Amino acid sequence: MERELGAKIWLIPDAYLPDVGDVNLPSHESTCILNVNDKPATVKFTFYFEDRDPIESKEIVVLAKRTWHVRLDRSEEILGVKLERDVPFAIKVESNVKIVVQHSRLDTRQPNLAYMTAIPWNID
């Protein structure tokens, strides 16, 4: 039996959807999920805020040996939760099988753009 790669729980302490900026290339964040395993991953997001209770997403499925770049500016259509822009939050990503998670932000509010990416903290 091949070993599962990744972790089942990932934490992203720094998340923030900047204002749209350039409408042709809108500011956004993506939580990128990589499932290199032989089984599909059922994934759920929990969003934490400074001044309100957490909200949980609906589950999404990342097929075996696939990746999904979950655009958080499209969270309502993908995850079933609406995230406001210009509000800091944190994220817990949970899966029934081990996955690898990366988090990125593109900020187009000024002409030079800004891009950042980070590997979240895994719990396993």
pLDDT at 1 over 50: no
Instruction: Give 26-78 pLDDT, tens digit per residue.
Output: 676 889 999 999 999 999 999 999 999 999 999 999 999 999 999 898 889 99
C-alpha 72/C-alpha 78 separation (Å) is 8
Kind plus residue range of the DSSP H or E element containing 106:
strand 88-107
Stronger pLDDT, 100 or 19, i.e. the higher one: 100
Question: What three-state secondary structure class fits 72?
Answer: helix
Q: What is the largest CA-CA distance in the chain?
A: 50
pLDDT at 9 over 80: yes
